[in-house]
Chains A and B, each alone.
Chain A
Amino acid sequence: MAAGAFAEAGADLELVGLHKRFPGFTAIEDLDLTIPAGSFFALLGPSGCGKTTTLRLVAGLEQPTSGRILIGGKDVTSVKSFKRPVNTVFQSYALFPHMTVLENVSFGLKRRGIADATGKAHEALRLVELDHLSARKPQQLSGGQQQRVALARAVVNRPALLLLDEPLGALDLKLRRQMQLELKAIQNEVGLTFLHVTHDQEEAMTMADTVAVMNKGQIEQMGAPEELYELPKTAFVANFLGQSNLFTGDVTNSKGDSIVVDIAGVKIEVPKDRAQRHTGEITIGVRPEKLMLHTEAPKKAPGVNILGPGRVTDVSFSGVSTQYQIAVPGIGLITVFAQNMVFGPVVNLGAEAWVSWTVDHGFGLLDEPEHTPKFSADTDTATIALQTRHELLAEIEEA
């Protein structure tokens, strides 16, 4: 970007065959990604999945092992970080403690020699409603205010691309909600391209136009939040984005619009256009809130899947809904979210129960069943082991 000039509008970001290896492990494996200009894009994944590394590569704080990074069609792979039309809102905010709020916000403008840096900084502070605190030092502000200063400090430069590295992670729930809405409003107002990295699936879904779920240095699935939630393609996505009940069985029949899967002797129907594979052993799933709970065996009807009977092993009331765990012999635990329509739990602990759902709500996954985890941990142990190993090696090297 030419000195003294603002980007006219957001630019699109293109990552081509990106690899990043650190001593001891690979953070990013052959990543291809295009983010259209003006969009709010979220990279979602557990810690250690490579999302922050991706962000740092785009910001120029790390160099890729191979591959290219293009911003607005221009190759910036070897461009130094301070010459890229990119600004970052850091996870720790990284506000300069020895400068006032105003000095923090005008820092980037002054480095680029933009006229009326102070005036523009005040304008950006008004946008985040903190202009009255511009003479303060960052440590005199609350967490939420610091976060807004960090945002103003990045937005004031009108970068073609704004990178957000879990900037809301340190805030409490209520403040986070408020900041999410504010961020979204600011994005609409200034029309920049936002790349938001987070491990909070709810945050990604509320804020982003497009969500890419990342796992082990690769993108597992990408799409609109509704699409990802309603039709996950892999078990990882199905469990990372909300919860899912997953069952594995052989496809026994493939008639008309749907396939029939044999789950421990029970025939379960899944629509063909919602299943990634139509033959062999596959994993199918259904979201807990799509399940109906019955205390008597429901009548068989076309277009409805029924599992049961099972025993209610856990009932937990969470306000808007009640979560039930039902143990079905031969199948395992099924989770049901029942909307809170009556007082107290409808089904008591230990009661006999059936579950049913409309065929249209089921989905079939792409994974090979033997690799399908029933519940995926927030961070998988292999990653933690690798990180520990890397740290140990660094320590040994140092000693």
Chain B
Amino acid sequence: MRFSLGKWLLPLYSALALIFLLTPIVYTFVFSFNDSVKSNIVWVGFTLDNWTNVCDAQGVCAAFGTSILVGVVATLIATVLGTLLAIALARYRFRGRSVISLLLFLPMATPEVVLGAGLAAQFLTAGVPKGLGTIIIAHALFCLSFVVVTVKARVASLDPALEEAGRDLYGSAFQVFTRITLPLLMPGIIAAALLSFALSFDDFIITRFNNGGVETFPVFVYTAAARGMPPEANVIASAVFILALVIVVVAQTTSAARRKRLARAQ
């Protein structure tokens, strides 16, 4: 009889890898139901109070709101600027084009500590008081590179004949941009915006250097962890995770349904 290693070793290995990956998430989720008093490390008992009264714990909801605000504003700035930059870089030839392309990669390659500390020093010498504004500026800065890279790929794959056809069919430059270029770039722009929001939402290092006392959610969790994290933080973390999961599942099923519909129509 042939001894088949792959038959049991591979599933075992996969199971171990999955357990390793999911343990922290499961732990966070389970402990969001912990009826803890001071620190949320030891399991005391099951309760739904944490979920029903999330905002009772001091600072949790405020930090979450700040994170959302920073994420939305920084994403808006990065997406608009990044899209325009991407179109310029992919479509036009101008002096300094390759230099700009290179410089845009730098924030991605630079360690976050360096980027955060550098920005903090800049704000200090410029005399800008740290706060919500500086966090947004910092986030828009590092998100910009990711937006440019994502949208540029989309612009490059866009057939220039489509825009030419728009011009040929009596569309002015503005009409061609709003009715043809922009809708065709939209999937890339949306992907870039989601990526940028996700990056902004869980950034800790750069934020820590430039927050000047304003607490985003990751900063709140970090400081709270030192003095015993409230279970409400687990609730928000779990909720965000579940929301992300739902979005992914919905997107997958609708695109599968659309593919099926397309196939049927053909």
Contact = CB atoms under 8 A, between A and B. Distances in A.
B255 to A, nearest CB: 15
A92 B162 CA distance: 9
A90 B170 contact: no
B91 interface: no
Nearest to B163: A94
Interface of A: 59-61, 80-83, 86-88, 90-92, 94-98, 107-108, 111-112, 136, 140, 153, 157, 397-399
Contact of A81 (B168, B179, B183): B168
A397 B93 contact: yes
Given A81-B167, A82-B168, A90-B161, A97 B184 contact: yes
A2 B223 CA distance: 69
A399 B102 CA distance: 11
A60 B173 CA distance: 13
A88 B262 contact: no
Contacts of B59: none
Nearest to A156: B169
Nearest to A91: B161
B158 to A, nearest CB: 10
A399 B98 contact: yes
11 contacts: A61-B164, A81-B167, A83-B170, A90-B161, A90-B164, A94-B159, A94-B164, A94-B165, A95-B165, A107-B171, A136-B265
B168 A59 contact: yes
Interface of B: 93, 97-98, 159, 161-162, 164-172, 175-176, 179-180, 183-184, 262, 265-266
A157 B169 contact: yes
Q: Give chain B's interface secondary structure class.
A: helix
A398 B98 contact: yes
Nearest to B262: A140
Nearest to A61: B164
Nearest to B266: A140
A334 B176 CA distance: 55
Given A81-B167, A97-B162, 12 more contacts: A60-B168, A83-B170, A95-B165, A98-B183, A107-B169, A107-B179, A108-B170, A111-B175, A112-B170, A140-B265, A153-B169, A157-B169
Contact of B161 (A60, A81, A82, A94): A94
Contacts of B184: 96-98
A92 B161 contact: yes
Contacts of B161: 90-92, 94
